Structure 1
Amino acid sequence: MTLLAGRRVLLVEDESLVAMLAEDMLLDLGCEVVVAMRLDKALAQARTGSFDLAVLDVNLGDTRSYPVADLLFERGTPFLFATGYGRQGLEEAYKAVPVLQKPYQAAPLKHLLTRLLMGEPPTREGTGGGPMPCGCHISREQQPFQVDHCS
């Protein structure tokens, strides 16, 4: 049993095949998953649902997932951004949020979600906090994947 077993995760991803792949990975980790593929659905879920974690694709077609991130900040729900652009693709206010480099891979997804559960919720830049320190003690040489936020 892992720390992720039974955790409710909001997955915001607008590409159906990518969403299915990420959902399968989360299910394999023992998570309960709610998928939202559009901004309006993601906002509704973030407002009314109860989640332990969230994974937000940054780009949702012609819009961004930042309004969902703002709701999650307010609710104290830990989340990460998933993007193919890395940290450089984020607006400045969100650069303290952990980033999962796309395409989704199971090991870095598990790693970052576990870190989110063990640490403080992410904060907006300029509101205190900062990059979340990593408690994994895995050196860069030992990591078979790219994680933007490990120290």
Structure 2
Amino acid sequence: MAERRILIVEDDVLIGMMLVDMFDALGLPEPAQATSTDEALALIASEPLAGALVDINLGEEKGWPVADALAARGVPFAFTSGGGDVIPAEHASCRLISKPFRIGDIETALRAFGV
């Protein structure tokens, strides 16, 4: 069975690189990465995942379809945002990690996923 990875859904390449560096600093395997809803949905359908960090704002898109797909598969996830977003009621219990990220906040979210 393939190793379950964490999925990072983030449209800003520099922020994605920073998150990968945080995973490395925490001694975690390199995460799967997607920069759009379509890329994320393809990874969710094809890869075993232990959890996900989903940016709410993906360019002109919102991360809600990604959250819905993760929830439907029972994959734990947390939202990430620069602020000002209202999380839909069906995902209101999900953790929100605010930008700029602190490594401790990322580590806490990943531990909640059982990583």
TM-score by length of 1: 0.68
**1:7, distance to aligned residue in structure 2 (A):** 5.7
Structure 1: which amino acid aligns with 2:89?
Answer: E
Counterpart pick for 1:89 among 86, 93, 105: 86
Query: In the alignment, does 2:42 pair up with 1:18?
Result: no
Distance 1:100 1:31 in 2: 20
User: Residue in 1 aligned with 2:36?
Assistant: 38
Runs of 4+ in 1 over 4 A off after TM superposition: none
CA distance in 2, matches of 1:89, 1:25: 26
Residue identity opposite 1:94 in structure 2: H
Structure 2 residue aligned with 1:57: 55
> Residues of 2 paired with 1:21 and 1:7: CA distance?
21
Structure 1 residues 102-141: aligned runs within 5 Å: 102-117=99-114
CA distance in 2, matches of 1:20, 1:89: 26
Alpha-carbon distance between aligned partners in 1 of 2:44 and 2:7, rounded to the nearest angstrom: 8
- Among 9, 12, 24, the residue aligned to 2:6: 9
For residues 57-112 of structure 1, what are the alpha-carbon distances to aligned partners after superposition, in whole Å with 9 as ceiling and x for unaligned?
A: 010011111111111111111110011216x5322322111111111211111012
* Structure having greater relative contact order (Cα 8 Å, sep ≥ 6): 2
Matched residues, number: 112
- Paired residues of 1:81 and 1:100 also in contact (CA < 8 A): yes
User: Which protein has the bigger strand share?
Assistant: 2
Q: What is the alpha-carbon distance in structure 1 between the residues aligned to residue 113 and residue 50 of structure 2? A: 10
Matched residue type, 2:99? K
Percent sequence identity over matched residues? Answer: 33
Rg larger for: 1
* RMSD, aligned CA: 1.8
In structure 2, list runs of 5 or more residues that go unmatched.
none
